[in-house]
């Protein structure tokens, strides 16, 4: 039995032979994540941890063990105290790039479903309310030719506008006008080739028929969309969030949707997550809520798991992680 030990916090959709030839592997078998107390106990016994965004990897946990690597199966890593890991010289891996298209596809599914009221239509039909063709039944806005506002144009945590391009290309197929706002403006050549216009957040909110959020979860994006931002939006506008729940103030979202301040929203995230079953948000017909499945295509999840295992193995064998959140540890 290899002496090196790793803990994987959930079953993964790939085989683990290569990892098993290098390490003793324990996989958490439950559907629910291990509790923080269990993680705290495990971390004292292992060399490598493969975790998910549902695992709280904070300073106390990081300082409790002697981890050689933390490998997250997600592109986002707001559940991990990166500073604490860096202070301990522990490389943190993540899985950028491979889920950009799947997440953009799902964003588009939410945008279309919300605009054309697909979920409401299904509920209406199942409730036996479909009695005839009606000229004004379940009307929604046009998607073709509308204005799309993209908030956050880069790949999470990086300046590369990969994600923004992915959304812009989809929007182009629907002949949309595309506004974007981002910490960093793209090169003019890229703006031109994608047909996108840079604007302030305020302008994006005021002008757009659909606003889609793609910023990372960070101190400066916490509740980026609150009452004031909803007030700036058109009453006919639809908000899509497939980024992180913390970007939208849930109370403001409820008020905006319940009062008709905006027409609709579709979110793949919540704050907290999962959304509590007694949340008022669940009473709204003009809100679609999905359980954080943006990247959930079979191929994508398998690629994410493969990347996470590769990062884990690299960390265990002392190699540089291909996708490292804190590469500065290699300089010191």
Instruction: Give the Å distances, CA to CA, from 144 to 18, 98, 234.
Output: 48, 28, 17
Note whether 76 and 216 are within 8 A (CB): yes
Please identify which residue in 76, 154, 245, 315 interacts with ligand DGY, judged by CB under 6 A: 76
Of 31-39, 70-78, 136-144, 323-331, the segment contacting ligand DGY by CB under 6 A is 70-78
Q: Does 310 bind ligand DGY (CB under 6 A)?
A: no
Interacting positions 132-151 with ligand DGY (CB under 6 A): none
Residue closest to 13 by CA, chosen among 284, 306, 245, 325: 306
Where does residue 131 fall: left (phi above 0), alpha (psi -120 to 50 degrees), or beta otherwise? alpha
Catalytic residues: 244, 273, 292
What string marks each residue from 95 to 114 as x (binds ligand DGY by CB under 6 A) or -?
----x---------------
What string marks each residue from 10 to 49 as x (binds ligand DGY by CB under 6 A) or -?
----------------------------------------
Q: Which residues of 125-152 are buried (b: 16+ CB within 10 A; e: fewer)?
A: eeeeeeeeeeeeeeebbebeebbbbbbb
Interacting positions 50-69 with ligand DGY (CB under 6 A): 53
Size of the site for ligand DGY (CB under 6 A): 7
Which residues contact residue 290 at a Cβ distance below 8 angstroms, ignoring those fewer than 6 apart?
106, 110, 266, 267, 268
Instruction: Annotate 239-281 with three-state secondary structure.
Output: EEECCCHHHECHHHHHHHHHCCCCCEEEECCCCCCCCCCCCHH
Q: Between 181 and 241, whose beta carbon lies closer to ligand DGY?
A: 241
Q: Does 305 bind ligand DGY (CB under 6 A)?
A: no
Strand locations in 132-256, DSSP E? 147-151, 177-181, 196-198, 210-213, 238-241
Q: Between 143 and 324, whose beta carbon lies closer to ligand DGY?
A: 324
Q: Does 74 bind ligand DGY (CB under 6 A)?
A: yes
Q: Does 75 bind ligand DGY (CB under 6 A)?
A: yes
Q: Between 75 and 113, whose beta carbon lies closer to ligand DGY?
A: 75
Please identify which residue in 86, 295, 311, 326 interacts with ligand DGY, judged by CB under 6 A: 295
Instruction: Please give the residue ranges that form the binding site for ligand DGY (CB under 6 A).
Output: 53, 74-76, 99, 294-295
């Amino acid at each position: 039995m290899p002496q090196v030990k790793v803990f994987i916090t959930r079953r993964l959709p790939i085989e683990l032979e290569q990892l098993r030839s290098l390490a003793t592997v324990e996989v958490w078998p439950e559907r629910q994540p291990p509790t923080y107390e269990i993680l705290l106990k495990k971390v004292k016994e292992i060399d490598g941890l493969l975790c998910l965004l549902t695992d709280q990897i904070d300073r106390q946990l990081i300082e409790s063990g002697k981890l050689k690597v933390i490998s997250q199966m997600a592109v986002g890593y707001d559940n991990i105290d990166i500073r604490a890991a860096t202070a301990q010289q522990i490389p943190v891996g993540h899985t950028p790039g491979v889920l950009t298209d799947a997440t953009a596809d799902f964003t588009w599914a939410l945008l279309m479903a919300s605009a054309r009221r697909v979920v409401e239509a299904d509920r209406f039909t199942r409730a036996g309310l479909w009695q005839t063709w009606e000229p004004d039944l379940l009307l929604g806005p046009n998607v073709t030719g509308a204005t799309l506002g993209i908030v956050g144009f880069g790949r999470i945590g990086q300046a590369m506008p990969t994600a923004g391009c992915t959304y812009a290309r989809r929007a182009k197929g629907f002949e949309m006008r595309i506004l974007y706002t981002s910490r960093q403006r793209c090169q003019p050549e890229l703006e031109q080739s994608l047909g996108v216009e840079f604007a302030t957040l305020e302008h994006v909110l005021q002008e757009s028929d659909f606003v889609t959020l793609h910023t990372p979860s960070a101190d400066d994006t916490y509740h980026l969309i609150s009452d004031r931002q909803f007030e700036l939006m058109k009453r006919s506008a639809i908000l899509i969030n497939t980024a992180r729940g913390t970007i939208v103030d849930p109370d403001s979202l409820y008020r905006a949707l319940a009062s008709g301040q905006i027409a609709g929203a579709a979110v793949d995230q919540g704050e907290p997550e999962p959304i509590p079953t007694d949340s008022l948000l669940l009473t709204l017909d003009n809100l679609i809520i999905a359980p954080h499945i943006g990247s959930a295509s079979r191929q994508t999840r398998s690629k994410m798991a493969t990347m996470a295992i590769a990062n884990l193995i690299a960390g265990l064998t002392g190699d540089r992680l291909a996708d490292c959140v804190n590469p500065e540890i290699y300089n010191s």
